[in-house]
Amino acid sequence: MKLLVTVKRVIDYNVQIRVKADGSGVEKDNVKMSMNPPDENAVEEALRIKEAGKADEIIILSVGNDKAQETIRTALAMGADRGIHIKTENDLEPLAISKIISKVAEEEKPSIILMGKQAIDDDSNQTGQMTSALLNWPQATFASKIEIEGQNAIVTREIDEGLERIKVSIPFVASCDLRLNEPRYASLPNIMKAKKKPIDTKDASSLGINIEPRIEQIKVEEPPVRQKGIMVSDVAELVQKLKHEAKVI
Amino acid sequence: MTILVLAEHNNIDIKSSTLNTISAASQIDQDIHVLVTGYECEELAKNISKFEKVSKVYLANNEKLKNPIAENIEPIVVSLANNYSHIMAPATTFGKNIFPRIAVKLDIAQVSDVIKIISSDTFMRPIYAGNAIATVKSNDKIKVVTVRPTSFDPVETSGGKEQVENISFDNDSGSVEFIDREESQSERPELSTARVVISGGRGLQSAENFKLLNEIADKLNAAVGASRAAVDAGYVSNDYQVGQTGKVVVPDLYIAVGISGAIQHLAGMKESKVIVAINKDEEAPIFNVADYGLNADLFEALPQLSSELDKLNTIQQ
């Protein structure tokens, strides 16, 4: 069984992002980048499925500029087997990305596609669902537990009301929640080994897919700043303020 | 131009997120249809047809639609799509799960999690966990949009045209089987719609200590929430989580107890009307967004808060 894991290179989650003064976007130059956090959970889950003897190859796919290769290497250093880099200088929309993933999936024929439930940059939460619909494979979104049983998987999903369990047939697409697992750190020997693992690079324009943007970004701005309030000296003062000043209790 | 809204419900009651979505839709156009997919929910469909702004309700009633399986709901919406200028759903796990499938089947780029409607094709949406706000224009023929429920006031539940039309469903995907759902039981108001929310962080130190919050929540008729740190530490289950990867709440009063104020958490609560922070670390970033900050040990402050609230109630009586 083959597993395909898609990873995205994003601004590191610890970085306080800065909006460009001209409103054209977010400052990305000289900013620390890393793998989208829930994508790390997707890589980790693939590794665990393989370690349990239920898969024999893990392929990492990333769409982006040359730097996307670093993100693929990170996943290879965690233990994945080989990489596919679809090269583009543009920021593609989930619609285009899902078409690319589907195209790769048709060639590679993985049994499960795993990815993070959303990217922490554009927060769209679309790619997994779109890929599932394009391939006509079942989807298991917001997965916090994946149990493979023969030709099916029981997936626990995190929903607003609590937890839901569904049974999906293989092949399927899983979008991973942060609580699915605890991603491992790559060891130094594995980082060295990963340098020798193959990454196949193709230009996005060579795939015959329309990746033109459909959505125009008019502007990006800072959210309204909340004014800092006051410090109260004790609980009694707090309750008085809430009662008589803010009038919320 | 007519707009189609996909209703989120549990076959008996409508979820308030649907009322917010209809309200968002009404900012674009006054002719709104609602699609209800479910099982034995004729009564619910009838109730929805009475809602303000709703001119028609489509009901797909089938046992296979009892649970919201994305693969089964998607083709129903897609089959209706060409009659509409916009297709909208709440950006809850319900809407998020289904809508991108509809968009891709129509070859349309979806606009997710809209917080403000500028015009019929231009919307504002948060990116980077709300640390930036993007204004985007959709150039697709049909706009496929999910909206953040807390950003729009709900519509009134009366004034609709009371028209319900049944539509058939014969498209069970068969590849997904619903097993069960474990809904968190609580006597308190629901987190995403509560007027008052009190949340605990890692500072609570244990699951046991969340009882201190529960006691105050009961006195304020508040919902109890938590930071991701508290959820990850196993103090409470994930549906308590307020933040970027949890729920976004906009209560009148938000009380953050033992929460440092990571970007992740702030993304889920900083639009609250009044924010109170109780933390023993005076440098905690949560104080930067708090209207009222109390630099104190929560294990002393919470019992005091509880007794102060009692005094207040005594005076009121």
Which one of B104, B105, B300 would you mutate to disrupt binding with A, by most A Cβ within 10 Å of its Cβ?
A: B104
- Percent of chain B surpassing pLDDT 90: 85
The C-alpha atoms of residue A145 and residue A157 are separated, in whole angstroms, by 7
Q: Which residues contact B279 (CB under 8 A, 6 or more apart)?
A: B203, B256, B257, B258, B259, B260, B286, B287, B293, B294, B295, B296, B298
Q: For residue A103, give its domain range.
A: 2-222
Domain count, chain A: 1
Contact criterion met (CB < 8 Å) for A216 and B252:
no
> Which pair of tokens denotes residue A142?
């917001």
The C-alpha atoms of residue B288 and residue B266 are separated, in whole angstroms, by 10
The C-alpha atoms of residue B307 and residue A207 are separated, in whole angstroms, by 67
CB-nearest to B104 from A26, A123, A134 is: A134
Query: Rounded to a whole number, what is the distance in angstroms from the first to the last CA of chain B?
Result: 54
Q: Which residues contact A167 (CB under 8 A, 6 or more apart)?
A: A152, A153, A154, A155, B176, B177, B179
Taking the CA of residue B302 and the nearest CA in chain A, the distance in Å comes to 9
Which chain B residue lies closest to A155 (C-alpha atoms)?
B179
pLDDT value of residue B246: 80
Instruction: Provide the number of CB pairs (under 8 Å) joining chain A to chain B.
Output: 245
Q: How far is CA B228 from CA A176, B98, B209, B298, B316, in A?
A: 16, 25, 16, 18, 37
The C-alpha atoms of residue B257 and residue A243 are separated, in whole angstroms, by 19
pLDDT value of residue B314: 64
Contact criterion met (CB < 8 Å) for A232 and B292:
yes
pLDDT value of residue A13: 85
Taking the CA of residue A113 and the nearest CA in chain B, the distance in Å comes to 16
The C-alpha atoms of residue A154 and residue B125 are separated, in whole angstroms, by 34
CB-nearest to B245 from A178, A229, A248 is: A178
Q: What is the DSSP string of A198-210?
A: -EEEEEGGGG---
In a domain, A12, yes or no: yes
Containing B185, the helix (H) or strand (E) segment is none
Taking the CA of residue B161 and the nearest CA in chain A, the distance in Å comes to 31
What pTM, to 2 d.p., does this model score? Answer: 0.91
Q: Which residues contact B94 (CB under 8 A, 6 or more apart)?
A: A159, A160, B8, B15, B17, B68
pLDDT value of residue B171: 78
Contact criterion met (CB < 8 Å) for A242 and B274:
yes
Along the 317 residues of chain B, how does pLDDT read in single tens digits?
Answer: 899 999 999 999 999 999 999 999 999 999 999 999 999 999 999 999 999 999 999 999 999 999 999 999 999 999 999 999 999 999 999 999 999 999 999 999 999 999 999 999 999 999 998 889 999 999 999 999 999 998 999 999 999 999 999 999 887 888 899 999 988 777 888 888 889 999 999 999 999 999 999 999 999 999 999 999 999 899 998 889 998 778 889 999 999 999 999 988 998 999 899 999 999 999 999 999 999 999 999 999 999 999 999 998 765 44
The C-alpha atoms of residue A199 and residue A64 are separated, in whole angstroms, by 14
pLDDT tens digits, one per residue of A130-189: 999 999 999 999 999 999 999 999 999 999 888 999 999 999 999 999 889 999 999 999
Q: Specify the fold of B3-167.
A: Rossmann fold (3.40.50)
Taking the CA of residue A197 and the nearest CA in chain B, the distance in Å comes to 32
The C-alpha atoms of residue A71 and residue A62 are separated, in whole angstroms, by 8
Same fold, B3-167 and B196-316: yes
In a domain, A187, yes or no: yes
The C-alpha atoms of residue B46 and residue A148 are separated, in whole angstroms, by 42
The C-alpha atoms of residue A181 and residue B210 are separated, in whole angstroms, by 25
- What angle in degrees, to the nearest 10, is found between the helix axes of A127-135 and B93-105? 50
Phi first, then psi: what are they for A70, rounded to 5°?
-65, -40
In a domain, A140, yes or no: yes
> Which pair of tokens denotes residue B280?
């023993």
Show the low-confidence residues of chain A (pLDDT under 50).
Answer: none
Contact criterion met (CB < 8 Å) for A165 and B179:
yes
Contact criterion met (CB < 8 Å) for A218 and B273:
no
In a domain, A246, yes or no: no
pLDDT value of residue B299: 97
In a domain, A23, yes or no: yes
CATH number at residue A59: 3.40.50.620
Contact criterion met (CB < 8 Å) for A235 and B305:
yes
Contact criterion met (CB < 8 Å) for A229 and B70:
no
Which one of B308, B311, B312 would you mutate to disrupt binding with A, by most A Cβ within 10 Å of its Cβ?
A: B308
For the domain spanning B196-316, the CATH number is 3.40.50.1220
Query: Rounded to a whole number, what is the distance in angstroms from the first to the last CA of chain A?
Result: 58
The C-alpha atoms of residue B305 and residue B317 are separated, in whole angstroms, by 18
According to DSSP, residue B190 is labeled: P
In a domain, A228, yes or no: no
Which one of A159, A177, A216 would you mutate to disrupt binding with B, by most B Cβ within 10 Å of its Cβ?
A: A159
In a domain, A88, yes or no: yes
Q: Is the ipTM above a cut-off of 0.85?
A: yes
In a domain, A70, yes or no: yes
Which chain A residue lies closest to B216 (C-alpha atoms)?
A249
Which one of B76, B115, B131 would you mutate to disrupt binding with A, by most A Cβ within 10 Å of its Cβ?
A: B131
Phi first, then psi: what are they for B14, rounded to 5°?
-75, 145
Max Cα distance, chain A (Å):
68
Q: Are B289 and B230 in contact (CB under 8 A)?
A: no
Break chain B into its structural domains and give their ranges: 3-167, 196-316
pLDDT value of residue B130: 87
